[in-house]
């Protein structure tokens, strides 16, 4: 028996604060979770826009949105939200099992359907937004 160990002492292993950086899948998982902050910012910014339209203070909101730091933040939020969406849609085959006549659909079909629907909805929204600027 060692003399430097206190009887009844609890073993506490050292914490590795960068545990997620050791594996690519864990790194992507943690990055996807961190991008949720930017998704929340995008929702808050959209709510601020809606409030500005309803209050009639759209000019003040446009002045705020035109500031360089706000543009940089929103470009970063767009990239983070796109990363979040792509990685989330790529996980769908692991969480959803789709069977047709007892045959399980392959992952690429579920992912392709998700990404195709995302593209279609984005195109419809783009059409109506651009049509409103004429």
| Residue 90 resides in a domain | no
Q: What is the DSSP letter of 12?
A: -
Query: Does one domain contain both 75 and 132?
Result: no
What is the domain-level CATH number for residue 71? 1.20.1300.10
| Residue 56 resides in a domain | yes
Task: Report residue 23 as tokens.
Answer: 């594996």
- Residue numbers of the domain that contains 43: 9-84
Q: Convert the pLDDT of each residue in 39-78 to its tens digit.
A: 999 999 999 999 999 999 999 999 999 999 999 999 999 9
pTM: 0.74
Measured at the CA of 60, the angle between CA 129 and CA 55, to 5 degrees, comes to: 75
Q: Convert the pLDDT of each residue in 11-25 to its tens digit.
A: 888 888 888 888 998
């Amino acid at each position: 028996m060692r003399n430097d160990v206190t009887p009844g002492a609890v073993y506490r292993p050292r914490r590795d604060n960068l545990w997620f950086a050791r594996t690519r899948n864990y790194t992507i998982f943690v990055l996807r979770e961190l991008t949720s902050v930017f998704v929340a910012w995008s929702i808050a910014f959209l709510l601020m826009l809606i409030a500005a339209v309803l209050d009639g203070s759209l000019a003040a909101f446009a002045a705020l949105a035109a500031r360089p730091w706000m543009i940089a933040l929103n470009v970063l939020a767009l990239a983070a939200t796109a990363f979040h969406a792509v990685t989330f849609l790529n996980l769908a085959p692991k969480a959803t099992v789709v069977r047709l006549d007892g045959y399980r659909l392959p992952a690429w079909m579920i992912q392709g359907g998700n990404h195709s629907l995302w593209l279609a909805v984005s195109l419809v929204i783009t059409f109506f937004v651009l049509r409103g600027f004429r």
